[in-house]
Amino acid sequence: MNLPLFQHRWPQRLIATASLLLALGAPTFAQEWGNSLKIDTGQFASVPHALDISYDYPNPGTMEFWFKLDTIRDINHLLGKRHECGGGAYLYQAVYWNDDASCGIWGCSETVDFPNIVGEWHHLAFTFDAVNGSTIYLDGMPASSTSCGVWQTSLISDLRFGTSGPCPDNQSIVGEMDEIRFWDIVRTPEEIFANYCRTIAAETPGLIGYWNFDEAIDNQNVYDISGTGNDGTLGMTTAVASDDPTRVVSTIDDCDPVATESTNWSRVKGIYR
């Protein structure tokens, strides 16, 4: 009896896929991303000031995270540690505006142009080093590099996700964030590419902040699972309030680093044009 076509093909495909995975190391095509943080106007998560996530000059570092914007505003603050809104009153920030994504630590900033991203998940990574400069990565690929100037020290303010310091409500994002990781080392291009499509072990060396928002839906705490202990809250406090984002099932479900590389910035779903 002839088997249906798919029953013939699947074993071959599985063998081919397994061979490909072995050849490539261990890329991950499908991940369990748990929950993400869904942020609406005037909502954010807040992590109290701590020296180990301050990146005082000249400490090097890497920041990376996933985000999705459901509405594009003039200014969309993704995260930031700043004490005033506007000017250079920040220690570090990430923002999407004017069809560009920018990541910067004061004195050291990178921008990548990528328009038309409504409703799409993207990954940004930013590395900085007083000697070797900074680089921004979009969806695992380096996009821009430059040298760094001297940046701030001793700036005391909350770290916020979904907005930046006391910036007005109309500059917070309307969308989602997930899988925010801070490092006290400059991750290499190979490390960023190999890991942006996967969750990682909390004890990975150099990891100093890891917020994955996988707590229970009604938990007001935003735990730093890196072991550094920089836990935050939904909104300003653990009280239920209108500044609280909500948790939803994360939909980062199509990440494919092999496709990203092989098509050179053109992902499977045509995200990067």
Q: Please give the residue ranges that form the binding site for Ca ion (CB under 5 A).
A: 33-34, 178, 212-214, 234-235, 241, 244, 250
- Angle of CA points 269, 178, 270, to nearest 5°: 10
Closest residue by Cα to residue 129 from 153, 146, 115? 146
Residue nearer to Ca ion on the CB measure, 82 or 247 = 247
CB of residue 207 to Ca ion, shortest distance in Å: 15
Q: What phi, psi does 194 have (nearest 5°)? A: -75, -20
User: Which residues contact residue 19 at a Cβ distance below 8 angstroms, ignoring those fewer than 6 apart?
Assistant: none
CB atoms < 10 A from the CB of 138, how many? Answer: 20
HSE value, Cβ hemisphere, 13 Å, CA-based, for 136: 24
Residue nearer to Ca ion on the CB measure, 66 or 128 = 66
User: Whose CB is nearest to Ca ion?
Assistant: 235
Using DSSP's 3-state secondary structure scheme, residue 228 falls into coil
CB of residue 237 to Ca ion, shortest distance in Å: 5
CB of residue 45 to Ca ion, shortest distance in Å: 9
Residue nearer to Ca ion on the CB measure, 30 or 241 = 241
Residue nearer to Ca ion on the CB measure, 36 or 135 = 36
CB of residue 146 to Ca ion, shortest distance in Å: 31
CB of residue 46 to Ca ion, shortest distance in Å: 9
User: Which residues contact residue 235 at a Cβ distance below 8 angstroms, ignoring those fewer than 6 apart?
Assistant: 43, 44, 45, 46, 241, 242, 243, 244, 245
Residue nearer to Ca ion on the CB measure, 145 or 237 = 237
